[in-house]
């Protein structure tokens, strides 16, 4: 039985990684955003390529978004126009079921993503992939409708997930020809780990893929344990019962920084805590009102009161890790300027607005309350409205877009500016929950998507950031950071844009 793997001898425990997470995965489908799913599936499904990284003298690893290295594919070529790529698959990539990776697996998986039109389908469209075909058993050809700088970065992601179709399709039925029901409760990837046992509501157990052709991970087994209470995740880490505590609130992290029983590291990450303004709903259809909001915020106070002084100020719709990042947002705390802008917009006696929020992120409620209070001092009369998570998720989703003014955090899976632009503020972006539609901005993005000259590309990216900052449909505040809270011996963590921990990089320095 898989639980036998977690026996109690010191040597065995040394190679068993126990993680306390918010939720054990309820579904193993990487395209579905249920709690615990992506946290685990990034370790099961790997891409054709991966990010290169550098290692500092203290062992800290940092990815290099422009350095893409082979992974499941050993090499690739592209045509002059960068619209056709041919990947040669490694011959020694074998799934836990003993099936070699074939080109047909890649083709089937990418076509399934296109059909399902969920996260994998979105990434395929964003990468402008129009066709994926097998040239032979070990060569796959991707055809793009236009060159895309972000194409290789998207191939480094866990989705569209490459499935061992030889195994998966054994479980297909007439009603379920793609074996999706089986794939929801089982894994069939070519990555470093595979699922051995799923105890719903309790834990998921993983073991190293015995056929993994790369350097064998230090941790042979991983138990991803559901521990809903953050205080308990911390207590378990301090007690030595788990090696990693995920999703620890920042106010608890601050007290752990000097705790010798834990190790805390962080990166800014790619997800800023931002205000989103629905530009189709009055009074926010007036740019001056949006700018007034941006000037009304006391950013330093927000950092101290919400992010415990640990936040990194967000001065662009892009994350700092993006090549081409510029500090486009030059708004600072100036209530008088905010009032003047409101008066210019025709609201010299103030204006009534509603700020909606939920509890999707740990900082959301505190930030909403602080922002409402600050806005009141600049003649905004704010009605603060708390909604259940599911309700708020629907209202801020781009398909409904019914919330006028709300908080949001969007994580960019690719460190390419055009990815974030296309997702968040391009007029037809699937993540455009502000209703921002500006042909001039779309034109900048369209040009940047295909521009091969670096200098011209950087200029286009800078202009796009400045335009969004000026129009302010999004007002980013701070990057709360991606925090890695672990036992002191854990080392080697390599932050990835998907913001989840990749177990194969970890080891314990005993």
Partner 1 sequence: MLLGVVLVTFLLIRIGTRDASLMLAGPFADAAMLERIRSNLGLDRPLYEQFFIYVGHLVQGDFGLSWISGRPVIDEIRPRLVATMELLLPAFAIGGFAGASLGIASAFRYGSRFDHTSRFLSLLGFSVPTYWIGLMAIFLFYSVFGIAAAPMGRIGMASFPPMPVTGSVLIDGALAGDWDVVIDALHHLALPVAILAVIIAAPILKHSRVIALDVINSDYVSYARSCGLPPRIVRQIVVRNSLAPILTLAGSELTGTLAAVSLLELIFAWGGFGQWGLNAILSGDFAAVQGYVAVIALFSIGVFLVIDLLVLWLEPRTRS
Q: What is the smallest separation between the CB atom of 49 and partner 1, expressed in angstroms?
A: 21
55-63, 84-92, 110-118, 332-340 -> range binding partner 1 (CB under 8 A): 110-118
Residue nearer to partner 1 on the CB measure, 26 or 322? 26
- C-beta separation of 330 from 472 below 8 A: no
302 by DSSP, 3-state: which? Answer: helix
State how far the alpha carbon of 37 is from the alpha carbons of 23, 28, 390, 403, in Å. 9, 6, 18, 27
- CA dihedral of residues 18, 22, 23, 24 (deg, nearest 10): -10
E-state strands within 37-162: 49-55, 61-70, 73-78, 84-89, 129-136, 139-144
69-77, 114-122, 250-258, 486-494 -> range binding partner 1 (CB under 8 A): 114-122
Out of 17, 31, 46, 50, which residue is the one contacting partner 1 (CB under 8 A)?
31
Asked if residue 10 binds partner 1 (CB under 8 A), the reply is: no
Query: Total number of residues binding partner 1 (CB under 8 A)?
Result: 57
User: Which residues is 263 bridged to in the sheet?
Assistant: 486
- C-beta separation of 395 from 403 below 8 A: yes
**226: closest CA among 417, 35, 46, 408?**
35
Residue nearer to partner 1 on the CB measure, 32 or 86? 32
Asked if residue 390 binds partner 1 (CB under 8 A), the reply is: yes
Angle (nearest 5°) at CA 493 between 492 and 496: 135
What is the Cα–Cα distance from 453 to 379, expressed in whole angstroms?
47
Q: Which two tokens stand for residue 447?
A: 């040009």
**381: closest CA among 357, 359, 417, 352?**
352
Asked if residue 116 binds partner 1 (CB under 8 A), the reply is: yes
Asked if residue 280 binds partner 1 (CB under 8 A), the reply is: no
Q: What is the smallest separation between the CB atom of 230 and partner 1, expressed in angstroms?
A: 10
Distance of CA 454 to the CA centre of its chain: 26
| String of contacts with partner 1 for each residue 369-388, x by CB under 8 A | -------------------x
474 by DSSP, 3-state: which? Answer: strand
What is the Cα–Cα distance from 192 to 391, expressed in whole angstroms?
37
4-12, 212-220, 342-350, 444-452 -> range binding partner 1 (CB under 8 A): 4-12
31-39, 262-270, 324-332, 476-484 -> range binding partner 1 (CB under 8 A): 31-39
Residue nearer to partner 1 on the CB measure, 134 or 393? 393
Out of 227, 353, 367, 448, which residue is the one contacting partner 1 (CB under 8 A)?
227
| Binders of partner 1 in range 48-77 (CB under 8 A) | none
**What are residue 16's phi and psi, to 5 degrees?**
-105, 125
Other residues' Cβ atoms within 10 Å of the Cβ of residue 345: 17
Out of 60, 78, 104, 232, which residue is the one contacting partner 1 (CB under 8 A)?
232
Residue nearer to partner 1 on the CB measure, 384 or 394? 394
Element (H, E) at 107: helix 103-116
| DSSP designation for 100 | B
Asked if residue 427 binds partner 1 (CB under 8 A), the reply is: no
Asked if residue 261 binds partner 1 (CB under 8 A), the reply is: no
Residue nearer to partner 1 on the CB measure, 235 or 458? 235
User: Which residues is 208 bridged to in the sheet?
Assistant: 193
Cα R_g (the chain), whole angstroms = 23
Asked if residue 363 binds partner 1 (CB under 8 A), the reply is: no
Asked if residue 361 binds partner 1 (CB under 8 A), the reply is: no
Q: What is the smallest separation between the CB atom of 392 and partner 1, expressed in angstroms?
A: 9
Asked if residue 203 binds partner 1 (CB under 8 A), the reply is: yes
| Binders of partner 1 in range 156-185 (CB under 8 A) | 181, 184-185
What is the Cα–Cα distance from 82 to 195, expressed in whole angstroms?
37
84-92, 165-173, 235-243, 450-458 -> range binding partner 1 (CB under 8 A): 235-243
Asked if residue 229 binds partner 1 (CB under 8 A), the reply is: yes
Asked if residue 15 binds partner 1 (CB under 8 A), the reply is: no
Residue labelled with tokens 């911390």? 234
Exposed/middle/buried for residue 85 (C-beta within 10 Å: 0-12, 13-18, 19+): buried
- Maximum Cα–Cα distance for the chain, whole Å? 73
Q: What is the smallest separation between the CB atom of 243 and partner 1, expressed in angstroms?
A: 12
Asked if residue 223 binds partner 1 (CB under 8 A), the reply is: yes
What is the Cα–Cα distance from 45 to 37, expressed in whole angstroms?
12
Residue nearer to partner 1 on the CB measure, 345 or 393? 393
Q: What is the smallest separation between the CB atom of 60 and partner 1, expressed in angstroms?
A: 30
Out of 52, 59, 98, 200, which residue is the one contacting partner 1 (CB under 8 A)?
200
Q: What is the smallest separation between the CB atom of 213 and partner 1, expressed in angstroms?
A: 30
State how far the alpha carbon of 387 is from the alpha carbons of 51, 209, 365, 391, 393, in Å. 39, 43, 10, 6, 9
6-14, 56-64, 323-331, 497-505 -> range binding partner 1 (CB under 8 A): 6-14
Out of 14, 15, 27, 345, which residue is the one contacting partner 1 (CB under 8 A)?
27
Q: What is the smallest separation between the CB atom of 450 and partner 1, expressed in angstroms?
A: 22
Other residues' Cβ atoms within 10 Å of the Cβ of residue 59: 10
Query: Where does this chain bind partner 1 (CB under 8 A)?
Result: 1, 3-4, 6-8, 16, 18, 20, 23, 26-27, 31-35, 116-119, 121-123, 181, 184-185, 199-203, 223, 225-229, 231-232, 235-236, 238-239, 241-242, 388-391, 393-394, 397, 399, 423, 430-431
């Amino acid at each position: 039985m898989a639980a036998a793997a977690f026996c109690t001898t010191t040597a065995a425990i040394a190679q068993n990684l126990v993680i306390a997470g918010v939720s054990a995965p309820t579904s193993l489908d990487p395209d579905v955003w249920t709690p615990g799913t992506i946290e685990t599936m990034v370790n099961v499904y790997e891409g054709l390529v991966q990010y290169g990284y550098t290692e500092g003298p203290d062992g800290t690893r940092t990815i290099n978004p422009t350095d893409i290295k082979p992974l499941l594919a050993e090499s690739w070529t592209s045509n002059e126009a960068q619209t056709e790529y041919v990947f040669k698959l490694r011959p020694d990539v074998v799934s836990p079921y003993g099936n070699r990776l074939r080109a047909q697996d890649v083709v089937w998986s990418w076509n399934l993503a296109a059909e399902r039109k969920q996260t994998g389908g979105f990434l395929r469209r964003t990468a402008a992939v129009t066709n994926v075909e097998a040239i032979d058993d070990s060569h796959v050809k991707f055809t793009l409708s236009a060159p895309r700088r972000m194409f290789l970065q998207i191939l480094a992601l866990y989705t569209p997930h490459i499935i061992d179709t030889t195994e998966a399709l054994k479980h297909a039925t007439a009603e379920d020809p793609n074996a999706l029901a089986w794939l929801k409760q089982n894994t069939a990837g070519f990555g470093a780990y595979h699922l051995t046992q799923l105890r719903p509501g309790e834990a998921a157990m993983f073991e190293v893929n015995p056929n993994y052709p790369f350097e064998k991970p230090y941790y042979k087994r991983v138990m991803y344990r559901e521990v809903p209470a953050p205080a308990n995740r911390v207590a378990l880490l301090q007690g030595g019962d788990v090696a990693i505590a995920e999703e620890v609130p920042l106010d608890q992290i601050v007290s752990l920084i000097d705790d010798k029983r834990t190790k805390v590291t962080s990166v800014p990450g790619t997800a800023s805590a931002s205000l989103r303004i629905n530009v189709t709903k009055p009074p926010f259809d007036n740019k001056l009102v949006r700018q007034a909001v941006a000037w009304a915020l006391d950013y330093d106070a927000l950092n101290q009161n919400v992010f415990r002084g640990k936040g990194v100020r967000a001065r662009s719709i892009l994350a700092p890790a993006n090549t081409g990042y510029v500090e486009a947002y030059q708004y600072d705390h100036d209530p008088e300027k905010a009032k003047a802008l409101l008066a210019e917009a025709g609201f010299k006696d103030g204006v009534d607005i509603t700020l909606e929020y939920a509890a999707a992120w740990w900082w959301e409620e505190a930030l909403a309350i602080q922002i409402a209070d600050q806005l009141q001092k600049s003649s905004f009369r704010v009605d603060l409205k708390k909604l259940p998570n599911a309700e708020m998720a629907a209202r801020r989703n781009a398909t409904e877009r019914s919330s006028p003014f709300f908080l949001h955090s969007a994580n960019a899976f690719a460190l390419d500016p055009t990815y974030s632009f296309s997702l968040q503020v391009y007029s037809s972006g699937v993540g455009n929950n502000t209703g921002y539609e500006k042909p001039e901005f779309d034109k900048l993005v369209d040009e940047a998507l295909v521009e091969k000259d670096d200098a011209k590309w950087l200029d286009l990216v800078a202009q796009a950031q400045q335009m969004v900052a000026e129009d302010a449909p999004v007002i980013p505040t701070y990057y709360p950071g991606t925090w890695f809270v672990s036992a002191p011996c854990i080392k080697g963590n390599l932050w990835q844009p998907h913001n989840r921990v990749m177990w194969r990089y970890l080891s314990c320095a005993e």
